[in-house]
Amino acid sequence: MFDLSSYLARRTLLIEEHLEALLPQETSAGGRLIEAMRYSLFAGGKRIRPVLCLAAAETVGGTAADALSVACALEMIHTYSLIHDDLPAMDDDALRRGKPTCHIAFDEATAILAGDGLLTFAFEIIASRCPAPPARTLAVLSLIAWAAGPQGMVRGQMLDMVIQGRPANVQEVEHLHGLKTGAMIEAALAAGALIAGGTDSEVAALRAFGRKLGLAFQVVDDILNVEGDPAIMGKAAGTDRIQGKNSYPALIGLEKSKEKAQNLLNEALESLSLFDFRADPLRAIARYVVTRNK
Amino acid sequence: MFDLSSYLARRTLLIEEHLEALLPQETSAGGRLIEAMRYSLFAGGKRIRPVLCLAAAETVGGTAADALSVACALEMIHTYSLIHDDLPAMDDDALRRGKPTCHIAFDEATAILAGDGLLTFAFEIIASRCPAPPARTLAVLSLIAWAAGPQGMVRGQMLDMVIQGRPANVQEVEHLHGLKTGAMIEAALAAGALIAGGTDSEVAALRAFGRKLGLAFQVVDDILNVEGDPAIMGKAAGTDRIQGKNSYPALIGLEKSKEKAQNLLNEALESLSLFDFRADPLRAIARYVVTRNK
């Protein structure tokens, strides 16, 4: 029987250690920048994207070591996006995972630069620290940059700002989530499979899994934002911008939202049908994402 | 006789056309992001970094085509750094090259995202559009990310914020400029040489040229900021943060600053001594940088 919590504990430890090695503390004059980058990087994230990336590498027969640098780069890109999204000009959030956000703990200029630094450093890590053949590493870097950039996550952030304050329909909201959150979850799975030498059809299957999982993740987030306990969530429930009147519960109702999450889970699991037991961690993670309470 | 102005006109045209092809206008819902990215990218920059990159490629016997994508990526990274540097939390500049800055023309959130988009897109372009062998492309991407990131340009921006408002000495100011401006100029030259297949010693020589040129550029900027005509400069003279009491003229005097610029020019030209006529554009650019009036 596969034990998810022990698997996740081992995996997050591996990722924490590698992140620590990639971005050690500094005491020199530039230290404040690194300190701010570390502050947000080690602020208690669940490391979902790097865990998915490593699991995808193993699903196609590779090892966690093949994908570890890519996985850590994904977490840095995720962290940069949170830092910038929390800025006063964006969501203006003072708390993230129960801790002051980067611009509150430091200042706005430092937070902008910490985000810029994490994003840039992420690409440097992929380019300089992957054990894979160069052509494969380049393809992985390209797909991650695409997913993170103006056709992916950044575009999603922009759409989120544009839609803010006006009612949207389910299609618009789904498109937005697909860009803002989904693109990087898909990329984590596709990158993990690709860096470990997965075939085109394996990469495509894991990308499809990521698409369903990312959407399920968001639907569940919306549900938790209505039902969640603030003490467990680490932030006030009901405060996220896109949640609220454009959340799934508001658009299609709470019960339909839960049904949707369950259907997405089933479709996600279906995408993994070509893989053997090595995809068990991904199957367990997908089930966890839909049944979590924070 | 080498004609710099006609050379620069041809080169900037080539770069403008390629930038236009890489980032065409868009009319869809995400269009505002692309519009903001384009607004700053086509706001009249002198394209110094991409021109240097192409010239470095030719200096080692390559063609402009070898380096064109890398050159455009460098300009995108430069533009992102200007957009973020102009933000209210940073330099709070309303004008850049005589035009409203991105956050004035759009809004602050859009400017943050436009910068993020340009930075991310730059790496995607390098990873997916270089005709060079993958290993070489990866090395180029890595050196550019290093120069742009928390050990290079972003670190320089941070140091600039830290030093702001207090007097610094020449060594500190020089260190700051080396990171904030110099790192990416060096990277433009090293990347151009490397992507075109330059040898290690050729890359090192062009990097040394870049180091001297970048510093000369800054010293001359400081001088122009004291002496410059606002109508020619496109911004009010004497307004840049680091200029002012930490400028070269303030620290070592105007005459010594001019002497320093001249010495740096001589050293830059010396770095090119192993190259033949193919380095003439770089020699002419170096002379232009030191003698320009804006």
pLDDT at B92: 95
Q: Nearest C-alpha of chain A: how many angstroms from B58?
A: 25
State pTM to two decimals. Answer: 0.94
Spell A11-33 as b/e; 16+ CB within 10 A means b.
Answer: bbebbbebbeebbeebeeebebb
CA A18 to chain centroid, in Å, comes to 17
Res. A238: pLDDT tops 50: no
- For residue A120, the chain B residues in CB contact (below 8 A) are 119, 145, 148-150, 154
**Mean pLDDT, rounded, of chain B:** 92
pLDDT at A129: 96
Percent of chain A with pLDDT over 70: 93
The answer to whether A44 faces chain B, any CB pair under 8 Å, is no
Q: Which of B133, B142, B161 sits opposite A109 (nearest CB)?
A: B161
- A163 band by pLDDT with thresholds 50, 70 and 90: confident
Q: Which of B108, B109, B149 sits opposite A121 (nearest CB)?
A: B149
Tokens, residue B127: 């990873």
Written in H, E and C, the secondary structure of B138-165 is: HHHHHHHHHHHCCCCHHHHHHHHHHHCC
Which of A:90-109 have CB within 8 Å of B? 90, 107-109
- B239 band by pLDDT with thresholds 50, 70 and 90: very low
Residue A158's domain spans which residues?
4-291
Q: CATH number for the domain including B122?
A: 1.10.600.10
- A2 band by pLDDT with thresholds 50, 70 and 90: confident
Tokens, residue A37: 């980058």
The answer to whether B131 faces chain A, any CB pair under 8 Å, is no
Beta strand residue intervals within chain B, DSSP E: 95-96, 99-100
Beta strand residue intervals within A104-223, DSSP E: none
Q: Per-residue pLDDT averaged across B265-274, rounded?
A: 98
pLDDT at B237: 45
Res. A221: pLDDT tops 80: yes
Give the pLDDT confidence of B61-82 residue by residue, as tens digits: 999 999 999 999 999 999 999 9
pLDDT at A149: 97
Res. A241: pLDDT tops 70: no
Do residues A106 and A32 lie in contact, with contact meaning Cβ atoms separated by under 8 Å? yes
pLDDT at B244: 63
Whose structure tokens read 């810029």? A116
Which of A:149-188 have CB within 8 Å of B? 149-151, 154-155, 157-159, 161-162
Do residues A223 and A254 lie in contact, with contact meaning Cβ atoms separated by under 8 Å? yes
- Give how many domains chain A has, as a whole number: 1
Tokens, residue B228: 């410059």
Res. A232: pLDDT tops 60: no
